[in-house]
Amino acid sequence: MISRGNRGNALEALVAGLRGTPTDRADWQAVIALANRTLLTPDLFSSLARAGQIHQLPEDVREYLRFVHDCNRERNLRLRTQLGEAVAALNRSDISPLLLKGAVPLFLSPAGLVPSRMTSDLDLAVNPRQETVARDCLEELGYVDVAGGRGMARQQDAGMLELRSTRADCYQPPKLIQRHGLRVKIPPAQSRAMHWMVHDLLKEGDYWRGRIDLRHLHDLARLAENEDVDWMSLHGSMSDRSARNALETQLLAMHHFFGTRIPAKCAKRPIVRFQHWRRVFTATHPIIGAPLRLAGNLMWGIWRFSRAYGLARRGPLDVLRRIARTLFDPRTKI
């Protein structure tokens, strides 16, 4: 477990490793613990290997990272096979599913390679009119609903499959891609970036709560590195000032941690710079920064449950349970 006083050094060393430049005298036990928590251990290995720096690590650290990377590679191969089977079944019913999040790089990666990103499940979306037929197709493959409405699963698979309805308010229309006899729709890079930002900063409240999903931040940085993302166009598409503030705060974090080039105007406004400082400070100083995070959690919890859940229609125990889950859910955030 990472000692609280060492969190900042571990975070700095992890980010340096993800950038392919390992730091000298890193506390690798703390770095690995943080990488495991943020689901970035395979990416850490692959980043150092691509940069030719993996042999700079102590042997036991190198072998542990290689072991986790190889296990994740085998799991991703199974996930890709599972994804191909599901897409083929949907195609036979003339459905071309929209791939989301981790399913996109799994599908697009070359046959002999898979991405090092840890993927928890497979996210697919279909037209609402096709959802019933799509569910029937998956049930014929043996999928059953998971308790709690979190998706569909089979005992033999490496992960769950989540089927959802496409929305009419997509930022940009998806592209139809055909590969290996399979047809899917892939959101453009800017739509994928918007999805991650809206999900983390607004839906999960990371902007108010002062949290950072380092894995998604790394995803965004890699996306910006490999594809042409028009951040100003994305900025202009945001619904209101709070959403634009959140986007600018995330861009500043990408620049701070991974050196991503961002529009200069996104780093100037005081509210954005304060929010960025608050997120970095609480991530690197969890004890001193606890009051800041608690205040953000309280504001987010009050806003979310008063507007989204309808407190008057729920019992007090249910409300308290939801608030506690919001305030103390550790998940993979820092």
Q: Which pLDDT belongs to residue 5? A: 47
- Say which DSSP state 305 is in: I
For 6, 10, 39, 45, 196, the CA distances from 1, given in Å and listed in that order, are 10, 11, 15, 20, 28
> Are both 144 and 207 inside the same structural domain?
no
Q: For 155-180, write each residue's pLDDT tens digit.
A: 999 999 999 998 755 557 899 999 98
> Are both 177 and 193 inside the same structural domain?
no
67 within a domain of the structure (yes/no): no
Q: Say how many domains are in the chain.
A: 3
**Residues in CB range of 13: below 8 A, 6 or more apart:** 22, 23, 26, 27, 28, 30, 31
Q: For 103-125, write each residue's pLDDT tens digit.
A: 999 999 987 789 999 998 999 99
Q: Is the pLDDT of residue 329 over 70?
A: no
d(CA 234, CA 95) in angstroms, rounded, equals 29
Q: Where does the pLDDT of residue 306 fall: very low under 50, low under 70, confident under 90, or very high at 90 and above?
A: low
The pairing of strands 160-165 and 121-126 is: parallel
Full domain range(s) for residue 326: 189-334
Q: Which pLDDT belongs to residue 1? A: 41
> Are both 246 and 116 inside the same structural domain?
no
Burial of 304 (0-12, 13-18, 19+ CB in 10 A): middle
> Are both 229 and 332 inside the same structural domain?
yes
> Are both 82 and 218 inside the same structural domain?
no
The residue out of 187, 203, 227 marking a domain boundary is 187
Quote the tokens at residue 300: 């987010």
